[in-house]
């Protein structure tokens, strides 16, 4: 392939891997994962092909929301190690070609944070305006709460001062007043500090809620809260030109695209495609590619340097909030029929393999589809081996169980007593004695080996990170066929979302009888006729990645 100057846009073809240090690897035997353990396991991520490691919060915490209730934005939770341990991990990761980003959670703090403790001490305290207060009783706001099973209002009365403080999430997480210039200065200092430590950017938590607090900024551009997001991106660029902001923005595409900013992409660098993810599950539930096709066709154009992040699972509930009530019930019926498998009335607290009853055909098809979609794929730790969930853990913690390294005690995560672990180990058919890294790493037919192959092929196919979506017409409802073309590379991917074998006729009018379609996941190739027509055979839940190879091509396929 001809090398085209794309600048240092490493995120366009990255492979992102999300983990919680607390549940990944315990090296000192106290029952809690730590940075020393993560450092020892970086070779696993390098062998897998990961190029970007996303850390969930590792800061000091009041431990009421799995680290998202932060008490010190500049610190490292002492249970996980020290700043020195973190820096050693970042250095080791970079030695293996892995950049590190971390959660930036600045729309709220813990109520144990020194700022809030000072703010609630009196109405005259200098930190009072770091948070949002009201003196009159608030109207009913139950419809605005993020966690309807935990809260009934977004306002909480502070008994000492007699005023109410805003909390979009839990009452123990008061919202910061982002319209206050002093708060903005503190957020910039936090970002600058961690960039100096060695991070390559941030996954920005709950971006729409963050910007809600910026709507009243004095002197802003016509009161536009996006001016604050532009300011954050500009600051990031000045401090580290190749660093990224990966945003959590769960909105319809038409609203979501606004968070990329102007045509130059001056706000978020990347955003998760929540709409595409939810449509994928509806398509898998129906064995019908139409919802996924529509979601991808409806993706709006984005700036050249921006990117969609694709995923099939993340660290939160598997939200289905963008589906209609009827569609959501279809997905519940297919993948989480028991009420205990659901959460907040809008999502699932399960991992993909148990949802698919452990069927290796469907599991591999889903990950093949993930890595072939235009965008940057994001994996949640344990997905590479097919980990399951433990529904005995509360809420979203069901999918945040200890990593399964071996079939031994606690899945090789820790030598401590099980009661000292951060959560229960998976049990049943997806327990460590059945699912572990050690079991799969030398098995060429394992899911781990398959994910490694997908990552190799993805990284060899830059068009998957740079192209738009071209959905190909074909007659089978269960089949999703698309093509990615960029520069002189082109790849056709065909996936069967149903159990019946099919032969898929495709028409590629720019090709001719001298063109080969070389299979990247298996041996063999297909030939087009003089009209660019070709037939692709698929097994039930089958998949093909086909490299377009023209006469005289010198690319290694």
Torsion sign over Cα 306, 308, 314, 316: positive
- Both tokens of 501, joined, read 């074998």
Strand partners, 549: 516
- Both tokens of 320, joined, read 């289905």
**Complete DSSP assignment for 210-261:** HHHTTTT-TT-GGG-THHHHHHHHHHHHHH-TT-EEEE---S-HHHHGGGG-
* Separation of alpha carbons 379 and 90, rounded Å: 19
> Cβ neighbours of residue 342 under 8 Å, at least 6 residues apart?
332, 336, 348, 349
User: pLDDT tens track of the chain, all 557 residues?
Assistant: 333 445 589 999 999 999 999 999 999 999 999 999 999 999 999 999 999 999 999 999 999 999 999 999 999 999 999 999 999 999 999 999 999 999 999 999 999 999 999 999 999 999 999 999 999 999 999 999 998 889 999 999 999 999 999 999 999 999 999 999 999 999 999 999 999 999 999 999 999 999 987 654 444 444 688 999 999 999 999 999 999 999 999 999 999 999 999 988 999 999 999 999 999 999 999 999 999 999 999 999 999 999 999 999 999 999 999 999 999 999 999 999 999 999 999 999 999 999 999 999 999 999 999 999 999 999 999 999 999 999 999 999 999 999 999 999 999 999 999 999 999 999 999 999 999 999 999 999 999 999 999 999 999 999 999 999 899 999 999 999 999 999 989 999 999 999 999 999 999 999 999 999 999 999 999 999 999 999 999 999 999 999 999 876 656 66
CB 141 within 8 A of CB 94: no
Helix ranges, 408-530 (H): 437-440, 447-459, 463-466
**R_g of the chain computed on alpha carbons:** 24
* Separation of alpha carbons 466 and 142, rounded Å: 42
* Separation of alpha carbons 208 and 212, rounded Å: 6
H or E element at residue 270: strand 270-272
For tokens 């029952």, the residue is 31
- Map out the domains of the chain with their CATH numbers: 10-105+183-192+275-459 (3.20.20.80), 114-166 (3.90.400.10), 470-549 (2.60.40.1180)
Region of 49 on the Ramachandran plot (φ > 0 left; ψ -120 to 50 alpha; else beta): left
> Cβ neighbours of residue 297 under 8 Å, at least 6 residues apart?
469, 471
CB 246 within 8 A of CB 271: yes
* Separation of alpha carbons 200 and 375, rounded Å: 19
CB 502 within 8 A of CB 494: no
> Which residues are catalytically annotated?
205, 248
Alpha-carbon distances of 56 from 69, 279, 515, 542, rounded to whole Å = 12, 26, 46, 34
Given the DSSP bridges, would you call strands 99-104 and 52-55 parallel, antiparallel or unpaired?
Answer: parallel
């Amino acid at each position: 392939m001809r090398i085209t100057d794309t600048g240092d846009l490493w995120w366009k073809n990255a492979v992102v891997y999300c983990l919680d240090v607390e549940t990944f690897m315990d090296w000192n035997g106290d029952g809690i994962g730590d940075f020393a353990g993560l450092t020892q396991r970086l070779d696993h991520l390098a062998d897998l092909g990961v190029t970007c490691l996303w850390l969930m919060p590792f800061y000091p915490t009041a431990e009421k929301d799995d680290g998202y209730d932060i008490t010190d934005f500049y610190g490292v939770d002492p249970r996980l190690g020290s700043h020195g341990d973190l820096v050693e991990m970042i250095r080791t990761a970079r030695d293996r070609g892995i950049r590190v980003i971390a959660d930036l959670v600045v729309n709220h703090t813990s109520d144990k944070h020194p700022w809030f403790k000072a703010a609630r001490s009196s109405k005259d305290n200098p930190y009072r305006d770091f948070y949002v207060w009201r003196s009159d009783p608030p109207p009913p706001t139950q419809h605005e709460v993020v966690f309807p099973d935990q809260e009934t209002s977004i306002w909480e009365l502070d008994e000492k001062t007699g005023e109410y403080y805003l909390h979009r999430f839990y009452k123990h997480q008061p919202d910061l007043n982002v319209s206050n210039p002093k708060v903005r200065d503190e957020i910039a200092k936090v970002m600058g500090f961690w960039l100096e430590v060695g991070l390559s950017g941030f996954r920005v938590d709950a971006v729409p809620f963050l910007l809600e607090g910026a709507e009243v900024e004095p002197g802003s551009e016509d009161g536009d809260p996006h001016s604050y997001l532009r300011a954050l991106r500009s600051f990031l660029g000045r401090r580290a030109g190749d660093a990224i902001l990966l945003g959590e923005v769960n909105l319809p595409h038409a609203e979501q695209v606004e968070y990329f900013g102007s045509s130059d992409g001056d706000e978020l660098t990347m955003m998760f495609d929540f709409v595409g993810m939810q449509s994928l599950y509806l398509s898998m539930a129906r064995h019908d590619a139409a919802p996924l096709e529509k979601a991808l066709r409806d993706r709006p154009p984005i700036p050249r340097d921006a990117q969609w992040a694709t995923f099939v699972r993340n660290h939160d509930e598997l939200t289905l909030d963008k589906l209609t009530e009827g569609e959501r019930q279809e997905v519940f019926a297919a993948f989480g029929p028991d009420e205990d498998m659901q959460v907040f009335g809008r999502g699932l607290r399960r991992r993909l393999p148990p949802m698919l009853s452990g069927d290796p055909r469907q599991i591999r098809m889903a990950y093949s589809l993930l890595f072939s979609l235009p965008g940057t794929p994001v994996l949640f730790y344990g997905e590479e081996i097919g980990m399951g969930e433990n529904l005995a853990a509360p809420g979203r913690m069901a999918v945040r169980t200890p990593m399964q390294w071996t079939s031994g005690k606690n899945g090789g995560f820790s030598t401590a007593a099980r009661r000292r672990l951060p959560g229960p180990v998976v049990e049943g058919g997806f327990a460590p004695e059945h699912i572990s890294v050690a079991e799969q790493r030398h098995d060429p037919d394992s899911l781990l080996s398959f994910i490694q192959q997908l990552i190799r092929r993805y990284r060899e196919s830059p068009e998957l990170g740079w192209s738009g979506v071209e959905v190909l017409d074909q007659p089978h409802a269960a089949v999703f066929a698309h093509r990615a073309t960029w520069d002189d590379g082109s790849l056709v991917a065909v996936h069967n979302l149903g159990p019946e074998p099919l032969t898929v006729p495709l028409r590629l009018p720019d090709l001719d009888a001298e063109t080969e379609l070389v299979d990247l996941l298996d041996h063999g190739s297909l030939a087009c006729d003089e009209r660019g027509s070709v037939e692709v055979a698929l097994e039930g839940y089958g998949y093909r990645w086909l490299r377009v190879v023209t006469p005289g091509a010198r690319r290694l396929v």
